[in-house]
Amino acid sequence: MPFDINAFKQQGLAFGGARASLFEFILTPPLVISSGDAAEKLTFTCRAASIPASTVGQIEVPYFGRKIKLSGDRTFADWSITVMNDEDYSVRKIFEEWLFVLNSHVENKRTADFNSYKTDSMVNHHGKDGEIINSYTFIGLFPTEVSAMDLDWNTTNTIQTFTVNLAYDYWISTLNAPGII
């Protein structure tokens, strides 16, 4: 059956394949920052994100010159989003202010209490009919870096973007992933 295109269409991509462009990122800002309507605006200006990786480490145990592998601890790599910048800078301001309460520029102080700077947020992946086909909730999320934005006289007819690197404690798949909630 590997050469049967009809079998491929029926079994491999029975629903026509998931589209990478059909997603939304929903940020619930922590109370330590004043986001106003900018968090809602982020849902529309977040141009790129990803479904998070799932990684379980391994432990190698040597025995008489051979090694066996055992499953280790789960790890959660940092996650990043790409955001289109608007002239009001309101979305970028969320992340700059958030980083400021984590560590101020001049005094090297944190103004947020432990865990008050963390939040839970989600990325929803939509099907072609607009329905959510899977959703990932990030628990204990906070930014670790807001990228530079280039200013260049040679750059025309483009929207300025920046990336935000986010750390989080763990993620939960809220749909179609039995056993991990």
In this model, does residue 181 exceed pLDDT 50? no
The pTM score is 0.84
Please state, for a pLDDT cut of 90, what percent of the chain lies above it. 61
Residue 13 is assigned to a structural domain of this protein: no
Residue 70 is assigned to a structural domain of this protein: yes
Residue 6 is assigned to a structural domain of this protein: no
Range of the domain at 154: 18-173
Residue 156 is assigned to a structural domain of this protein: yes
Q: What CATH number is attached to the domain comprising 141?
A: 2.30.110
SS3 82: strand
Long-range contacts of 104-113 (CB under 8 A, 24+ apart): 111/32, 112/30, 112/32, 113/32
Task: Tally the domains of the chain.
Answer: 1
Residue 108 is assigned to a structural domain of this protein: yes
Residue 71 is assigned to a structural domain of this protein: yes
Residue 181 is assigned to a structural domain of this protein: no
Distance between CA atoms of residues 52 and 75, nearest Å? 11
pLDDT digits (tens, 9 = 90+) for 53-74: 889 999 999 999 999 999 999 9
pLDDT digits (tens, 9 = 90+) for 14-24: 787 888 899 99
Please indicate whether residue 5 or residue 180 has the higher confidence score (pLDDT): 5
pLDDT given at position 179: 53
pLDDT band at 97 (very low <50, low <70, confident <90, very high): very high
